[in-house]
Every structure is written in C-alpha cells, then in structure tokens.
C-alpha cells in the first residue's frame, strides 16, 4: 500500500504573481539596471514582518507565488528536511548569502566608472543572487516540497526573527485561531500548509498560532472541513 502523502497542492483565491519573477529574470538579463528592483523584495518582507509576520512571503513574494500556484502542482511534496529549519543552518545561510553578495559588490561592480555602468553592475549582482537562489528553490521543489527554500531563505529567516511571537500583538497582525473543538482527526490544516507547519498545535489558545514561519496564507482556514479555523 502506498504511503499517504501528508502535504499536497491546494488552490486558493488570489492573483498569480509569478510572472513578475519570470519577467524580472528575462528583462534584467538584457537590462542589468532592472536588477535593482530586487531591493524591494529584500527589504519588504523584513519591514512588514515587524507588524504582520511573514505575510509578505505568503501574499506578495513573486517567487513564493510561483512555488505555491505553479510548481506545487508538480512537486512530490515530501517532508522538508528538518536540518534546514534549525537556527544554526539558517544563520549560516544568512551570512553565506550576504557574504557572497558583499563579495560580488566589491569585486565585480565598476565603482570607478560611476553612472549607468556602476548601477548596472550593482543590478547584475542582485540579478545573479536572485537567479541562483531561484534555481536552488525550483530544484528543491522537485526533490522535496515547493516551499523548501522558504524554510531557510535569508530574508524569510530575518523576517521570522522580527515577527511578533507573543501578546500583545500589533493591530495589523492577522492570526489564525484553531477552535478548541478540533479533535485532531483530519489534520487538514497541516496537509495544505505550504511551510508544512502544524496549526492544530494551537487549538483553543487565545493568542492563536504564532509560529514565526506562518505565511498567513490562510490555506488552513479554507481547507478545514469543520470551519474550526478563523482569523
């Protein structure tokens, strides 16, 4: 008998934003200065996480959108390896990516030329980092699960560090609440969670589910067969 797949693809209403990452990679290849746009997706998730948690990763990030809406259909949805979620590995990835970023900025950008050449060089560095990490993320999608990269993405990691973790919560923070009537029979909330989290662990808790890697995608709420999950 085949082993039951715990995590799976689950469609939710919303916009398909993955065309943005595709357009970015193509256009910035021909016009490197466009690569500077990546700054938005580096600063945005960290800043908004201060009062909304990793909401950006679940609703705005074009690459995350590509994993959820496009590649998830073709992923084996295997469990995300536990070691990539550890603090040590995630800290290493933060230093590694930013170290590589700093190295490229120092040795590949024509700072002395200034003007468009300099800004194009900086844009090319951003583009390179995005392309390489996207290749890694897509590869992991077909080996493990769609959001494997997001489990240790440096910007996602920093966002999880600054995300609210206890009451009182910011007024803009939208959390999920699992009703105390949940009997843990279906665990559908975990089956559809793109980060392979277990929202049912917070059943009956007044503060709700405060896992810092929750993307606020609300798939768990939509998938709950008994409507026991609210926001």
pTM for the full predicted model: 0.91
Q: In terms of Cα–Cα distance, which of 198, 122, 212 is closest to 164?
A: 212
Res 186: pLDDT: 86
Helix (H) or strand (E) holding 230: strand 229-230
Q: Is residue 199 part of a domain?
A: no
Q: Is residue 105 part of a domain?
A: yes
pLDDT band at residue 5 under the 50/70/90 scheme? low
The mean pLDDT of 30-53, rounded to a whole number, is 96
Q: CA–CA separation, 193 vs 30, rounded Å?
A: 37
Q: Is residue 36 part of a domain?
A: yes
Q: Is residue 124 part of a domain?
A: yes
What is the span of the domain harbouring residue 74? Answer: 18-162
CA atoms within 13 A on the CB side of 74: 9
Q: Is residue 157 part of a domain?
A: yes
- Number of domains composing the chain: 1
Q: Lowest mean pLDDT: which of 26-30, 115-119, 157-161, 225-229?
A: 225-229
Q: Is residue 187 part of a domain?
A: no
Res 6: pLDDT: 61
Q: In terms of Cα–Cα distance, which of 116, 131, 148 is closest to 27?
A: 131
Query: pLDDT tens digits for 160-174?
Result: 999 999 889 999 998
């Amino acid at each position: 008998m085949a082993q039951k797949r715990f995590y799976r693809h689950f469609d939710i209403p919303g916009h398909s934003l993955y065309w943005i990452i595709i357009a970015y990679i193509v256009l910035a290849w021909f016009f490197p200065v466009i690569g500077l746009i990546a700054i938005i997706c580096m600063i945005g998730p960290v800043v908004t996480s201060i009062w909304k948690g990793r909401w950006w990763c679940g609703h705005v990030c074009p690459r995350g959108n590509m994993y959820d809406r496009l590649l998830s259909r073709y992923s084996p949805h295997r469990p995300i390896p536990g070691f990539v979620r550890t603090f040590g590995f995630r800290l290493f990835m933060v230093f590694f990516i930013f170290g590589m970023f700093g190295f490229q900025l120092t040795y590949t950008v024509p700072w002395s030329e200034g003007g468009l050449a300099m800004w194009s060089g900086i844009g090319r560095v951003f583009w390179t980092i995005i392309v390489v990490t996207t290749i890694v993320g897509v590869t992991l999608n077909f080996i493990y699960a769609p959001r494997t990269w997001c489990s240790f993405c440096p910007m996602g990691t920093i966002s999880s560090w600054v995300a609210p973790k206890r009451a009182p919560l910011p007024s803009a923070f939208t959390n999920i609440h699992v009703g105390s009537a949940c009997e843990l029979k279906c665990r559908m909330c975990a089956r559809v969670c793109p980060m392979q989290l277990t929202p049912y662990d917070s059943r009956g808790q007044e503060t709700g589910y405060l896992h810092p890697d929750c993307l606020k995608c609300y798939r768990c709420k939509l998938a709950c067969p008994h409507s026991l999950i609210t926001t």
